[in-house]
Amino acid sequence: MPAAGVVTEVPIPATESGFAARPAWLYLPPAYLARPRAQLPVLVLLSGQPGSPDDWLNGGMLAARMDAFAAAHDGLAPVVVMPDHLGSPLANPLCMDSQLGNVATYLSTDVPTWIHDTLQVDPSPSGWAIGGFSNGGTCALQMAVTAPQVYPTFVDISGEDEPTLGDHAATVRAAFGGDEAAFSAVNPLDVLARQRFPGTAAFLVAGEQDAVYLPQAQRVLAATQAAGMDVQWDLKPGGHTWQVWGPGLDDALPWLATRLGMTP
What is the DSSP track for 6-65?
EEEEE----TTT---PPPEEEEE-GGGGSSSPP-B-EEEEE--SS--TTHHHHTT-HHHH
Under a CB-based contact definition with an 8 Å cutoff, are residues 104 and 65 in contact?
no
The reported pLDDT for the residue numbered 187 is 97
The set of residues, in sequence order, having a beta carbon less than 8 Å from that of 72 and lying 6+ positions away, is none
Residue length of the chain: 264
User: Selecting from 3.20.130.10, 3.40.50.150, 3.40.50.1820, 3.30.1330.90, what CATH number does the domain 6-259 have?
Assistant: 3.40.50.1820
With residue 58 as reference, give the H or E element that holds it: helix 55-58
> How far, in whole angstroms, is CA 130 from its chain's centroid?
3
The reported pLDDT for the residue numbered 198 is 98
Q: What are the mean pLDDT values of the chain's consecutive 10-residue runs (264 residues total)?
A: 96 98 98 93 98 98 98 97 98 97 98 98 98 98 98 98 96 97 97 98 98 98 98 98 98 98 94
The reported pLDDT for the residue numbered 31 is 97
43 strand-pairing partners: 80, 129
The reported pLDDT for the residue numbered 179 is 97
